[in-house]
Amino acid sequence: MTKITNNLSRAEVTCRCGCGLCNLNHYLAEIFQQCRSFFGEPIIVTSGCRCPKHNQKIGGSPTSSHLKGQALDITCQNPTWKRMLKLAYCTGRSGIMRLGIHSKHKFLHIAFDPDKPQEVFFED
């Protein structure tokens, strides 16, 4: 298993359709690692890099930062709201300026995309 950082493997962030796309932004990988160090336990990548075909198939936005390797969707083991808030805090402490909090599915969208607003947003 090829590692991108100490706690992030290439397999975790490669497009899930099987095409092999892995264009993860180096700076985002470093931020992920820093966040993982602050959090102190495993962080699960639920969605990483996406090719256009896979992005469309799962209903992703045509302008998704995942297409450019500039976003990750993450969660933690046993994602209670207390733990998810701790994870969100760790992402901010690590330098993430674009954070999506998805309450229904209990995951965070973290992005390093200069073409998008640097904000915290919420989705059900």
Distant-in-sequence contacts of 25-31, Cβ < 8 A, 24+ apart: 25/68, 25/69, 25/70, 25/112, 27/112, 28/69, 28/70, 28/71, 28/72, 28/110, 28/111, 28/112, 29/4, 29/5, 30/5, 31/91, 31/94, 31/95, 31/96, 31/110, 31/112
Residue 79: give the domain boundaries.
Answer: 3-123
Structural domains in the chain (count): 1
CATH number at 34 reads 3.30.1380.10
E strands present in the chain: 3-5, 8-9, 43-47, 71-76, 98-102, 107-111, 120-123
pLDDT tens digits, 54-92: 999 999 999 999 999 999 999 999 999 999 999 999 999
Give tens-digit pLDDT for 32-52.
999 999 999 999 999 999 999
Q: Rounded to whole angstroms, how far apart are CA atoms 45 and 111?
A: 13
Q: What is the mean pLDDT of residues 93-111?
A: 94
pTM of the model: 0.95
